[in-house]
Structure 1
Amino acid sequence: MTNEEELAAVQAKAEALLAGRLAVVDELAGAEHADRAAEQAAQRARAHKAAVWAKAEKAGWSEAELVQMGFKKPTTRAPGRPRGKKKAAESTGASATRAPSPRQSDDTTENKTPTTAPSE
């Protein structure tokens, strides 16, 4: 057997071994794609459930009633504007108005000339 024939035989064996490994990589790539697609679908389903849950609450259903009927509370919030800090501030008794800044409080004394007693 010549050197070229030996090299060709080794390459053929290597390609045969590699072909089996590449097939598994192709299969893994397909599984990875399916996993990502399923995760995206699950995220969309969770967002939809949260939106419908919020709609049910707006329609007058309480969380306790929905749970009593067998529904599980969504693990994510409904998309959209979050419930504001305003409600949280009201429930804790915090004032919704801010205290004036130092500059704002200085405005009352600005542009006033001090009065001095007349010189004798």
Structure 2
Amino acid sequence: MKRKEDVMQQMKSMDAIQKVIEGEKLVLFVVKTGQCGVCESVQAKVSVMLESYSEVTGIYAYMEDAPEVASAYLAFSAPTLLLFFEGKEVYRIARFVRFDELDHVLSQYVEALKE
């Protein structure tokens, strides 16, 4: 089981984000803004969820730190969650996160990794 502080890693550049997405099999990426209480709440819940999924690499970035993230990933509202499987975006949800749906999608991709 991962330690809480290891669950999600902050990214501060497009290069760092792309390296993780290309280098890991399953990546959950949270795009958020600094003055967004909902973003903090969503990230906290995602962090707890990822404790059960050691196969998933969790990363997040503030739009203020890497403004090009919004256009590169078409993330125009915050929070936006993007799931990448083998470098390709396979799931996206923005603003209103349905955690039951996210959990279901994560479990499906974790199972696909095991096959």
TM-score by length of 1: 0.17
Which structure's residues are more often helix, by fraction?
Answer: 1
Larger radius of gyration: 1
Instruction: Tell me which of the two structures has the higher relative contact order, counting C-alpha pairs closer than 8 angstroms and 6 or more residues apart.
Output: 2
TM-score by length of 2: 0.18
Which structure's residues are more often strand, by fraction?
Answer: 2
